[in-house]
Structure 1
Amino acid sequence: MSDSSDRNEDEAAAQVFTPDPVSLAHLELILNGAYPLTGFMTREEVASVAKDGRMPDGGAWPVPVTLPVPDELADAERLTLTDPEGAPLAELRVGQRWWSGAEGVEGQGDGDDAPGHRLAGEVRFAQPPVYGALRHLRDSPEQVRGQRELAGDGGVPVLAVVTDRPLHHRELHQIRAAAEELGGDDRAEVLVIIDAPLESAGMAPVVLAAEPLLPAPARFVVATLPRASAEGAATLSAERRELLRAHVAAAFGATRLLALDGSGPAVPAADDAPVAVVRAPEWAYDTAQAQWRPAGEVAPEAAAELPDEAEVEEMLALGRGLPAWFTPARVAAELARIRPPRTERGLTVFFTGLSGSGKSTIARGVAEGIRKSGRTLTLLDGDVVRRMLSAGLTFSRADRDLNVRRIGYVAAEIARHGGVAVCAPIAPYAATRAEVRAMVEEVGDFFLVHVATPLEVCEARDRKGLYAKARAGEIPEFTGISDPYEEPEDAELVLDTEGRTIGESVAEALDALRAGGWLPTESA
């Protein structure tokens, strides 16, 4: 048989797989050269990195880079790795397959401790990625270094900042001071690497708003830096995250990395980081002189207390302006644009509870109250969705999960455009509810209401006769009888309807939405 025939048969044998978001981020950083790796790690490499922060050959590297796959792909020889839209990104030639989570590196802190099958091996580039937000800013390290050379900046020191947060006045002063120190009598270039999710812009527009306030020349690039080795694995420690930032910054040509988070750990050891990592000196706003100054030059009683992230979020949620001394007007305006007051944000009010708990009736009452407040509203009742959106699905666990995911998808699209979705499925499984929450919170707010009516009360009501049929064995996998209901531990509101009227429960839910700022306080 000819080499061409062998190659064709080999191509036909390749299976197609879309990695989870974490592995997809790892893959892009491998392919664009930000990682000094040729592919996904072997079991031995993961164990070494997890234990010592080093590859078996002694080279420093902070994070295991793994590819989890489902059971049906555990024996694959080759995989075509695609983006979520199905476009091929790379080909993996499997060099090793192993199981993570039951033994080996489990519990080693920064190891790949999410259980499941892993495939290791080199990846071959297929075609440039097109999926993902802000693709025009996702230049590769080679492209960024080339741009600097073409601009005649090849010998200029580069101060890198990696951030997923806004650059307020304090951070801008820290960057200016560090750039001045690095450049000495000459100039230093500032390279801002914005750590943004692959599927959304995240805080990137807010970071970009600060561009005119940075010392020139300043460049911006977007990258997605994983917080873990794999989906479901333990989050990287702060020190390892800083080390990962240092490796990525070095690939982009940085000569120094400025760590802005003054509350973080000590800077990594010099022999572990490929570039010097320096902790930004603290700056404070001097209320006596109405200016920002190095913290050591400000009397303690004159230093303004900075609002933390939760306080900033609360001010934005309630439509209050951020203090001018705290953040530049450009940054404040962009923050207000992407985080408008809650009365203008997309919102999903998600009711969950047993069949017969009263959630659908309460949801209808709450929907009517929201509609009267003037907000655009869509009611996604569980039974109606079953007929219109999920016709043909069974009541198996897989189909019930799919039904809830469909509801979540529609709710997220409603929230994306500033509307309110009120949903009332049973949604018995915590993991699926968490998926819906994550889906919605990418574009809006999520308010989970647990209608916590006891099983015996629901069964006593049994308006549809479903519990009687389930007890008789006529309905398999019935929630509360032959299938579990996992009570939420993350509900924003718990309603106990026993001994209460529907009107009282509706009023409590509407009061909670008003108190949170999602409805105007004067609404009825």
Structure 2
Amino acid sequence: MSTTTLIEPHGGALCELIVPEAERETLKEKALTLPSLTLTPRQLCDIELLLNGGFSPLRGFLNRADYERVVEEMRLQSGVLWPMPITLDVSADVARTLNPGDEVALRDQTGLLLAVMQVEDVWKPDKEREARLVFGTTSTEHPAVAYLMHEAGEYYVGGTLKGVQLPVHYDFKELRHTPAQLRAEFERRGWERIVAFQTRNPMHRAHKELTDRAAEEVGGHLLIHPVVGMTKPGDIDYYTRVRCYRKLLKYYPEGRAMLSLLPLAMRMGGPREAVWHAIIRKNYGCTHLIIGRDHAGPGKDSSGKPFYGPYDAQELVQQYQEELGIGVVPFKLMVYLPDQDTYKPIDEVKEGERTLSISGTELRRRLAEGEEIPEWFSYPEVVAELRRTHPPRHQQGFTVFFTGLSGSGKSTIANALMTRLLELTGRPVTLLDGDVVRTHLSKGLGFSREDRSINVRRIGYVASEITKHRGIAICAPIAPYEADRQYNRQLISSFGGYIEVFVDTPLEVCEQRDVKGLYAKARAGIIKGFTGIDDPYEPPSNPEIVCRTTEETVEQCVEKILAYLYQEGYLKKEENNA
């Protein structure tokens, strides 16, 4: 692959950024003397689609002028339509070392060189403005806004790329096509009209019916093009989903559909993201894209209000359809008509016709509780695959994560809970207490804000591994910062249960209980940055359980937690053999 010039926006030639082979060796040697940046998982997704042409016409991470116009107008400085800021975020410490004109080596987490970047701009963005204009909200309940505010670095670095190689994947290699490879495959098959189906979820009978109708409507073929980069926290892992897609393929007419994987880091940006998806699919050689209900939306906030209207995405893509140069196949919600044993778009259902449907939330509940999933909803092979990796909740691992001030009673309740779980279940239980973790896992870390965050996230990582392997983890750090607790919630929830317990004990009571004299030392200025005195404690925004140790005994707190675990299905009564 080599760098090429686009003939027209999103059409013709691809803007591939891998340099010719002879130049790659020169770049590798040069990179040995350059500063290096290790890319995050999201940045790895972005750089793969930059290098392989999936983000044509971009030639690198956006410089400041392009970024500003994309945020404001959904256009690059050249005037070409581009709705999503593709930015390389870095910490303030890294930003201070970079200047326009510098070169920096971009590497994966193993140190593999992917590209060399020619720095054009280094700047501190107004993230609140970016969130408001790009995602339509500043609420951190929106996953992209939460990432922007709590995960992304403070500064952006923009510049062009010279690619050395694409990120390495060892899974599903035969399903990973670059845009050029997929275009060539369409040509080999003689496919001229191709409708793409974007998905981040397993596909069931309604999806199969919808995609069949779409292919028939355009008089062409179907590309199932699922996202296997970053999706919404809590989504089913892509390994499971890809196995489900493969099971589904046999239900299509021979030669109608094919499967290819897209290494995209979704932003869940609703209408803007739908336009972005259309550009990407055009680059991959598709002529049409299915835009469904609430396309690429994150759903609702905690008050039940949707972030986007159900058909906002369809309307925005149709507004730019001519400029995009890709056809839109809009579809409404598909529902099942049991009396006719068929599916219809909801707007085609006649008055009086009986309908059935199962939402994604309802499907997850049925899987978690081991309930039947009817054959009208999905195919037996797909359901079996889902059950294999998503067993009933009482067979999953889970984490109970305590948070509260020093002296609030976290450790006492956590220890009592551990002994009760060992008594009741016979399952492996691991207690990750703050002091113990500091001794064994986080030795050498101090008590700066950064070190505290690292400590809490290390605890979250260990708990996620325990949860993944279907054990029980109990964590009892202070965990003063909401961002760290949300990070752990997202990480652990992808593998099993996460139950946050806020031990809500007033500061004055914690000081009275202080057997170590830490509060007194903090009041005297001997200890600096002590939580609750001269460093803030941010109370949880939405804990599953609140324990008030001035009103409840340790035993009452433990029984409250156990009752929740039984109620939510993490424990079953028959586990108690007494």
**SS in structure 2 at match of 1:313:** helix
- 2:129, 2:223 → 1: CA distance? 39
Find the counterpart in structure 2 of residue 221 from structure 1. Answer: 260
In the alignment, structure 1 residue 23 sits paired with structure 2 residue 43: yes
Find the counterpart in structure 2 of residue 88 from structure 1. Answer: 113
Alignment of 1:232-243 (within 5 A): 236=269, 238-243=270-275
> Does the 8 Å CA contact 1:47/1:104 hold for their aligned counterparts?
no
**SS in structure 2 at match of 1:440:** helix
Alignment of 1:330-345 (within 5 A): 330-345=381-396
Distance 1:7 1:62, change over 3 A: closer
In the alignment, structure 1 residue 498 sits paired with structure 2 residue 498: no
Q: CA deviation at 1:134?
A: 4.6
Find the counterpart in structure 1 of residue 280 from structure 2. Answer: 248
- 1:105, 1:320 → 2: CA distance? 43
- TM-score for the superposition, normalised by structure 1: 0.89
- 1:129, 1:250 → 2: CA distance? 22
Aligned with 1:429 (options 481, 486, 492): 481
Unaligned runs of 5+ in 2: 1-25, 137-144, 232-236, 295-309
Q: CA deviation at 1:58?
A: 2.4
Q: CA deviation at 1:485?
A: 1.1
Find the counterpart in structure 2 of residue 303 from structure 1. Answer: 354
Distance 1:425 1:102, change over 3 A: closer
In the alignment, structure 1 residue 457 sits paired with structure 2 residue 509: yes
> Does the 8 Å CA contact 1:23/1:65 hold for their aligned counterparts?
no
Q: CA deviation at 1:294?
A: 5.2
One-letter amino acid of the structure 2 residue matched with residue 280 of structure 1: F
> Does the 8 Å CA contact 1:101/1:116 hold for their aligned counterparts?
no
Q: CA deviation at 1:110?
A: 5.0
Q: CA deviation at 1:92?
A: 0.5
One-letter amino acid of the structure 2 residue matched with residue 504 of structure 1: Q
> Does the 8 Å CA contact 1:284/1:303 hold for their aligned counterparts?
no
In the alignment, structure 1 residue 137 sits paired with structure 2 residue 175: yes
Aligned with 1:72 (options 90, 93, 97): 93
Q: Deviation string for 1:322-362 (max 9, x for gaps)?
A: 12211222222222223221111121111111111111111
Q: Which moved more, 1:239-248 or 1:503-512?
A: 239-248
**SS in structure 2 at match of 1:147:** helix
- 1:294, 1:433 → 2: CA distance? 41
Q: CA deviation at 1:146?
A: 2.2
> Does the 8 Å CA contact 1:13/1:78 hold for their aligned counterparts?
no
**SS in structure 2 at match of 1:447:** strand
Distance 1:100 1:40, change over 3 A: same
Find the counterpart in structure 2 of residue 480 from structure 1. Answer: 532
**SS in structure 1 at match of 2:124:** strand
Distance 1:337 1:7, change over 3 A: closer
Find the counterpart in structure 1 of residue 302 from structure 2. Answer: none
Q: Deviation string for 1:479-521 (max 9, x for gaps)?
A: 1122211111131111111132110000001111111111113
- 1:207, 1:8 → 2: CA distance? 38
> Does the 8 Å CA contact 2:229/2:266 hold for their aligned counterparts?
no
Alignment of 1:127-206 (within 5 A): 127-130=165-168, 134=172, 136-149=174-187, 152-183=188-219, 188-197=220-229, 201=238, 203-206=241-244
Q: CA deviation at 1:131?
A: 5.2
Distance 1:294 1:66, change over 3 A: closer
> Does the 8 Å CA contact 2:83/2:276 hold for their aligned counterparts?
yes
Find the counterpart in structure 1 of residue 445 from structure 2. Answer: 393
- 2:186, 2:178 → 1: CA distance? 13
Distance 1:214 1:493, change over 3 A: farther
One-letter amino acid of the structure 2 residue matched with residue 146 of structure 1: A
Distance 1:272 1:452, change over 3 A: farther
Q: CA deviation at 1:291?
A: 3.0
Q: CA deviation at 1:155?
A: 4.0
- 2:569, 2:40 → 1: CA distance? 35
Find the counterpart in structure 2 of residue 232 from structure 1. Answer: none
Aligned with 2:154 (options 116, 125, 128): 116
Distance 1:307 1:294, change over 3 A: closer
Unaligned runs of 5+ in 1: 1-5, 229-234
Aligned with 2:541 (options 463, 467, 489): 489
In the alignment, structure 1 residue 264 sits paired with structure 2 residue 311: yes
Q: CA deviation at 1:223?
A: 1.7
Q: CA deviation at 1:161?
A: 0.5
- 1:383, 1:117 → 2: CA distance? 34
Alignment of 1:361-440 (within 5 A): 361-371=412-422, 372-440=424-492
Percentage of matched positions with identical amino acids: 37
CA RMSD of aligned residues (A): 2.7
